[in-house]
Amino acid sequence: MKDGVSNERVTTNLVGMPDDPDEEQYGFGEKPDPDEETDNDDEDTLAPVPFYTNTHVDDEIAVDRRQTRRKVEQYNRRGGIETAYKKIKEFAAWTTSKEFEVRLWHFGFAVLLYNAWLMVDFLVQVGLDKDFRSKPRITADRFRSYIQRRLTRLI
């Protein structure tokens, strides 16, 4: 465990983050369920976002609230990075080699293919003149099978 022993007692804090109507990912900006009872009668009010953390958070002054918001945003970016690594693994070739150079080459090539897939998907979305969406229009499987067909034909 980083910076501590594994049997160290940890306190978990539940933080209710204020809504952010401009943020659409990770639950920010979700409108409350219409059937759910709320304390206020304003229908356009956005629901607060619950967030668990093991670090101390405070909301006494504006500086503390900004620091808390920054922690939540950093954690949300981490989720995107972990998802990217899962996708990169889909592009990696399977190997049993214990040689560092071979494994590094496989990982580097997988990252190259992953980035090519992201670029092709982005260009397709821009070419369609529609709003950009986070869900890809070209799936990773479809891109991999296309690359495989082209490389097989080339060889």
> What pLDDT sits at residue 37?
57
> What pLDDT sits at residue 45?
61
Q: Which two tokens stand for residue 139?
A: 């799936």
Q: What is the dihedral of CA 22, 26, 31, 37, to 10 degrees?
A: -140
User: Which residue shows structure tokens 């949300």?
Assistant: 76
For residue 121, CA distances in Å to 89, 112, 133, 152, 155 come to 18, 14, 10, 22, 25
Q: Which residues does 128 contact at the CB level (< 8 Å), separation at least 6?
A: 137
> Residue 34 CA to chain centroid, in angstroms?
28
> What pLDDT sits at residue 73?
77
**pTM for the model:** 0.54
> What pLDDT sits at residue 85?
84
Task: Provide the angle, in degrees to the nearest 10, between the axes of the packed helices 100-127 and 140-154.
Answer: 110
10-residue block means of pLDDT along the chain (155 residues)? 64 70 47 54 61 71 76 73 84 90 94 94 84 81 93 90
> What pLDDT sits at residue 117?
94
